[in-house]
Copies of this chain bind each other. A is one copy, B any other.
């Protein structure tokens, strides 16, 4: 009947362990992301993506170019534009032009944005620990981080 993946034998075929690892990643992502999203929305009116962008912004020193924000959050240019619209309407970020190059626009986190991020920190930490970190030893978390980092270098730009 062929239970999970395909069997061995054929050319260029996936082995079951590899497929299971990927399906596990897919599922783990879905479960953890959904839980964070639900908690953040309910308690802080922030989607997970919005939180991620705000966090990125703060980590970069408070300001980031739209295009780098897109890379960092794995969103399209239009996706970021609209996301920043929403965050702007909520008073969490502002857009500012850049003198050197009139084409570039910077998103800047506001004091309100930093406050909102602070308020959400306990929620974020608690949910992330319960749904993710608590299932691993410290050693395993380090190994996980190191392995996952190989797949997708984080862009550096500001």
A-side residues, CB < 8 A to B, are 1-6, 12-14, 17-34, 52, 58-59, 61, 74, 121-122, 124-126, 128-129, 131-133, 135-136, 138, 140-145, 147-152, 154
Contact = CB atoms under 8 A, between A and B. Distances in A.
Q: How many of these chains are in the complex? A: 2
Contact of A22 (B24, B132, B151, B152): B132
Contacts of A149: 20, 24
A141 B6 contact: no
A30 B135 contact: no
Contacts of A131: 151
A28 to B, nearest CB: 4
A61 to B, nearest CB: 6
Nearest to A10: B121
B25 A28 contact: yes
Nearest to A25: B148
